[in-house]
Structure 1
Amino acid sequence: MFRDSKAFSGFSVDDIEAARRFYGETLGIRTSVTGDMLILHLAGDRDTLVYPKPNHVPATYTILNFPVGDIDAAVDQLRERGITFERYEGFEADERGIVRGPGGEGMPVGIAWFKDPAGNVLAVLQER
């Protein structure tokens, strides 16, 4: 039924303008605004809808993962842009907030979590 549907993802924030600045300026993602909604134009033609929600509750799980070729360089660049990395119980992070792993089948060799202005969890990760 949905095999050929061009499905897309979406998530809520409490402040569209803050989200536009964060995703567009801080992270460098191409964005557009339609009405009161923000669209993230992600690589691979994977647009994501960001919509305002007055009673927004931040996602407690990772809503977007950004694969990179060099997690150390990506974390350094994000830190230079003011990003603070999260630390979670049960995950041993290095001094920069990167959790290193063996990178087995489907698992990253490194991952670091951070939040958008609305408190939603994002991750930068390096695959083997």
Structure 2
Amino acid sequence: MFEQTKAFSGFSVDDIPTAKRFYGETLGLKVSEENGMLQLHIAGDRNTLVYPKDNHEPATFTILNFPVDDIDQAVADLTAKGVTFEQYEMTDAKGIARGPEGPPIAWFKDPAGNVLSIIELPAT
């Protein structure tokens, strides 16, 4: 039934203008706004909908993973832009988890508290 449907993901935030600045300026994504909602134009032709919600509660799981070639450089670049990386038991001082069970990954939050990550994956 849905095999040909171009499904897309979405998540809520508590402040659209702040989200637009963060995703557009801090993360450098192409962002458009229509009807009070944002579209994040992400590579691969699968836009992500960002919508306002008065009683927004941040996602406690990772809602977007951004693959990068060099996680150390990406962490440095984002830190310079004011992004703070989460510190967990398995992360190093930079906030990067480097374990035997997967590729290097670092988590951070958007201004609405939603969890995002950068993950070092080989270019394909």
Identity %: 65
* Alignment coverage as a number of residue pairs: 122
Per-residue Cα deviation, 1:27-86 (whole angstroms, up to 9, x for no partner): 000000011000000011110000000000000000000010100000000000000001
Structure 2 residue 119 is matched with structure 1 residue 125: yes
**Higher share in strand:** 1
Shift of the alpha carbon at 1:127?
2.4
TM-score normalised by length of structure 2: 0.95
The one-letter amino acid paired with 2:97 is V
2:97 to 73, 96, 99: 99
Runs of at least 4 residues of structure 1 off by over 6 A? Answer: none
For structure 2, which runs of at least 5 residues remain unmatched after alignment? none
Taking the TM superposition and a 5 Å limit, the aligned residue runs for 1:38-53 are 38-53=38-53
* 1:83 paired residue number: 83
Counterparts of 1:126 and 1:101, CA distance in 2 = 12
User: Secondary structure of 1:24's partner?
Assistant: helix
Pairwise CA RMSD of aligned residues? Answer: 1.0
User: Secondary structure of 2:116's partner?
Assistant: strand
TM-score normalised by length of structure 1: 0.92
For structure 1, which runs of at least 5 residues remain unmatched after alignment? none
